[in-house]
Amino acid sequence: MTLPAMLQIDEILAAYRSGMLRPTALVTEVLERVDAYALKDPAVWIARAERDTLLARAAFLETQPVDSLPLYGIPFAVKDNIDVAGYPTTAACPDFAYVPQASAEVVARLEAAGAIMIGKTNLDQFATGLVGTRSPYGQPHCVFDDRYVSGGSSSGSGVAVAAGLVSFSLGTDTAGSGRVPAAINNIVGLKPTRGALSTTGVVPACLSLDCVSIFATSVADALKVETQAAAWDSAAPYSRPMQHHALPQQTFRFGVLAHKDRFFDGDTQNADLYEQAISRCEALGGVAVELDYTPLRETAELLYGGAFVVERLAAIEPFFTAHEAAMDPTVAGIIGSARNYSAADVFRAAYRQHELRQVAAQMWQQFDVMLLPTMPRIVSRAEVAAQPVAANSLHGVYTNFVNLLDMSACAVPAAFRDDGLPFGVTFVAPAFADHDLGLLAGRFHAASQTGAGLARVAVGAADEAARPAAEGTLRLAVVGAHLKGLPLHYQLEQENAVLVRTTRTATDYRLFALPASTPPKPGLFRQPGFEGPGLEVEIYELSAAGFGRFVASVPQPMAIGRISLADGQEVDSFLCAEAFASKGQDITALGGWKAYLQTRQAG
């Protein structure tokens, strides 16, 4: 089987299940693609896995059932400021390089889920930049036109996905590095809630703000990866258990820039495309509300225009002191400017940040999400060479504030310009809205009909959600101890159950931790009129016989009945009598059983 142009996760998994593709064949073709693309752009990778290593990994996976691992045989790339055991971590600075013995927590989790790490990708040095040109390993360029930058700092990670070399990649995002390369290369860039993905094993840029980000060809793929990567980590100082901030999907309010705040640096075509994006969002059921960009603009200026730059120095100060001359001059100049600030300046900046957070928090009373241009326009490599700081700053006009204000974001393609370059927008929402924000952004992406990446292959708003159950099978939603990784999951494995997707219930369900249950388990019941966040569930597909055996083993007070999901579909699920469940602890607000278990562990 010839691999599809864009390596979408479900398409690859379907080929594995059918026997048309095996991991060893995928690795062989991916390596051929990587070699071929290197002739066009040799700066995408800093280090690549050896062919024999990749084939050995693929051969091992072929000894495992396809559906035993959610990312079985899925190729991915890792930004080279994130540790992968046995590979140098350079942060695009050769003098800084070290070889870690252990992989970063996120990498370890993705490999445990079956993914295959193809290599380490290029970046703006020490993740300082939004252009992708600040690297001694070369300058990756836009996949559509080599006169233009790829976007940074996660430059190689964005290009690797857009060129069809991997299914997804990891970047980092402090000021917009997980979103700008997505816009320039016609792919999705998911910036999770800060702390949802562990930063253990990640070279810090600004530790209090850093996020591990995800590039993919669809929002559905990005959310699949986030589901596997997200976990509370006691070793990461800013780690937080994933929660759920619900967003309306059918009728929603979205904040847009007032005309006076629409800055495109003279690019009238991008201004028109933003207006078209607003209209498309309205067609999806949204109501546009003008937002006041003033506090967001001031917040954005804090990141590089004030004392927050001191945190970049704090991250690498011993190295910087000894090796400043060996660094990229622009990066060294930015980090070195931290010496102009006092400790009092840092505290004053932090105070102002929190004042602006209070202002921004009130904005969510006016609308549910924001719809912003990802950037005013794409800058050329020649512009960056002439004005390295000014050109870079142009890319961050609409991105820099997000982490400072503790928001989630998802960048998606919106249109193509007359000159063949893409235009992208970013949906921004409160912290922990990752899932629901992704659903909305995915609908927008599908409606935009831009496809994804270099091949511009069409993507759907929903994949597995729309696929009917296979003939002779039934679907079951599990909410508690049968979730993957929990004590009773083996009962599903015994019936060869296949994970279809992770989603949420409708909002009128409640979840209680049942008293004195072994192993610990929750009780789910419906309360008409109740408005909650919806509860996380995993949907499995079982044979009819396997479903019957499974249901027969369900003990009292549990039962199997129909529930409604967030997208309106109905499916069988575990339910519990309200009178019994309500004797336990109400954990509905946490959004699911795993979130509750993480909270207990954190406590």
Q: Which residue has the higher pLDDT, 189 or 558?
A: 189
Residue 281 lies in a domain: no
Residue 159 lies in a domain: yes
Q: Does residue 151 carry a pLDDT above 60?
A: yes
Reported as a pLDDT band with limits 50, 70 and 90, residue 458 is low
Residue 349 lies in a domain: no
Residue 177: active-site member: yes
Domain total in the chain: 2
Residue 424 lies in a domain: no
* CATH code, domain carrying 573: 3.10.490.10
Q: What number is the average pLDDT over the span 187-198?
A: 97
Q: Which residue has the higher pLDDT, 471 or 323?
A: 323
Q: Does residue 503 carry a pLDDT above 90?
A: no
* CATH code, domain carrying 184: 3.90.1300.10
Which pLDDT score is estimated for 1?
A: 73
Reported as a pLDDT band with limits 50, 70 and 90, residue 497 is confident
Q: Does residue 603 carry a pLDDT above 70?
A: no
Q: How far apart are CA 139 and CA 391, in angstroms?
A: 15
Reported as a pLDDT band with limits 50, 70 and 90, residue 157 is very high
Tokens of 511: 């979840």
Name the region of 204 (left: φ>0; alpha: ψ -120 to 50; beta: rest).
Answer: beta
Q: Does residue 466 carry a pLDDT above 50?
A: no
Question: What percent of the chain is predicted at pLDDT more than 70?
Answer: 97
Length of the chain counted residue by residue: 603
Residue type, 464: E
Instruction: Tell me the sheet residues that pair with 172.
Output: 212
Q: What number is the average pLDDT over the span 568-579?
A: 85
Q: How far apart are CA 69 and CA 62, in angstroms?
A: 11
Q: How far apart are CA 457 and CA 6, in angstroms?
A: 7
Query: Using CA of residue 90, residue 95, residue 98, residue 104, what is the dihedral sign?
Result: negative
Helix (H, G, I), strand (E, B) or coil at 374: coil
Q: How far apart are CA 180 and CA 402, in angstroms?
A: 13
Which pLDDT score is estimated for 569?
A: 78
Which of 211, 242, 273 terminates a domain? The answer is 242
Q: Does residue 464 carry a pLDDT above 70?
A: no
Q: What number is the average pLDDT over the span 501-517?
A: 87
Which pLDDT score is estimated for 463?
A: 44
Quote the domain boundaries for residue 518: 473-602
Which pLDDT score is estimated for 471?
A: 65
Q: How far apart are CA 144 and CA 43, in angstroms?
A: 15
Reported as a pLDDT band with limits 50, 70 and 90, residue 468 is low
Which pLDDT score is estimated for 518?
A: 86
Which pLDDT score is estimated for 461?
A: 54
Q: Does residue 465 carry a pLDDT above 60?
A: no
Reported as a pLDDT band with limits 50, 70 and 90, residue 412 is very high
Tell me if 81 sits within 8 A of 137, measured CB to CB. Answer: no
Q: What number is the average pLDDT over the span 419-425?
A: 97
Which pLDDT score is estimated for 460?
A: 60
Tokens of 127: 């993740």
Question: What percent of the chain is predicted at pLDDT more than 90?
Answer: 76
Residue 120: active-site member: no
Q: Which of 103, 135, 150, 153 is catalytic?
A: 153
Residue 451 lies in a domain: no
Q: What would the pLDDT profile of 70-98 be if each residue is shown by its tens digit? A: 999 999 999 999 999 999 999 999 999 99
Q: What would the pLDDT profile of 318-373 be if each residue is shown by its tens digit? A: 999 999 999 999 999 999 999 999 999 999 999 999 999 999 999 999 999 999 99
Which of 242, 271, 294 terminates a domain? The answer is 242
Which of 242, 263, 293 terminates a domain? The answer is 242
Reported as a pLDDT band with limits 50, 70 and 90, residue 469 is low
Can you spell out the DSSP letters for 533-564?
---EEEEEEEEHHHHHHHHHTPPTTEEEEEEE
Tell me if 158 sits within 8 A of 178, measured CB to CB. Answer: no
End-to-end CA distance of the chain: 50
Q: Which of 79, 120, 521, 594 is catalytic?
A: 79
Q: Does residue 65 carry a pLDDT above 60?
A: yes
Reported as a pLDDT band with limits 50, 70 and 90, residue 313 is very high
Residue 480 lies in a domain: yes
Q: What number is the average pLDDT over the span 301-307?
A: 88
- Name 177's Cβ contacts closer than 8 Å, sequence gap at least 6: 123, 124, 127, 129, 130, 152, 153, 154, 171, 213
Q: Does residue 599 carry a pLDDT above 90?
A: no
Q: Does residue 47 carry a pLDDT above 80?
A: yes
Q: What would the pLDDT profile of 99-149 be if each residue is shown by its tens digit? A: 999 999 999 999 999 999 999 999 999 999 999 999 999 999 999 999 999
Q: How far apart are CA 502 and CA 538, in angstroms?
A: 4
Which run of H or of E encompasses 70?
none
Residue 388 lies in a domain: no
Residue 581 lies in a domain: yes
Reported as a pLDDT band with limits 50, 70 and 90, residue 243 is confident
Q: What number is the average pLDDT over the span 540-555?
A: 82
Q: What would the pLDDT profile of 381-399 be if each residue is shown by its tens digit? A: 999 999 999 999 999 999 9
Residue 79: active-site member: yes
Tell me if 560 sits within 8 A of 570, measured CB to CB. Answer: no
Give the mean pLDDT of the chain: 93
